[in-house]
Amino acid sequence: MSQPLDLTITLTLPPQGSPPEITASITLHCDALGFVHIGDLLHDPLTQQDRDDLHWYLEEYWKWPYLEFATRGKQVEALATSNQHCERTTAHPQLALGAAP
């Protein structure tokens, strides 16, 4: 039976002067693989419009899930399954566990 791998992901404040879409600095650490990666930045994958839509969906949509509101609700639900947000946040796709640091 194989041993589980422990991966530590540490998020810290972004560097001073970072643009507002940078939400944190990321450090990855896995003792079993001898893997440490420091210095990538976590980008906020949502636009202000995305955040506004999600706020509407969570706070208002449930009150009127009919007609045109249902159409808008489906569009907002699509945000959760959209790959475009993943693509915007993946700065270094080659950094997978086991890949060369």
* 37, 54: one domain: no
In a domain, 100, yes or no: no
* 40, 50: one domain: no
Structural domain for 78, as ranges: 46-94
Count of CB atoms situated within 10 Å of the CB of 89: 13
Q: What's the pLDDT at 99?
A: 42
In a domain, 60, yes or no: yes
Residue 76 host element (H or E): helix 67-81
* 79, 90: one domain: yes
Residues 33-88: tens digit of each pLDDT: 999 999 899 998 888 898 899 999 999 998 988 888 999 899 888 887 775 555 54
Task: Tell whether the model's pLDDT for residue 90 goes beyond 70.
Answer: no
39 contact partners, CB below 8 Å, separation of at least 6: 25, 26, 27
Look at the chain and report how many structural domains it folds into. Answer: 2
Residue with tokens 């907002």: 76
What is the number of H-type helices and E-type strands within the chain?
A: 3, 3
pTM score, whole prediction: 0.54
Cβ proximity of 91 and 41 under 8 Å: yes
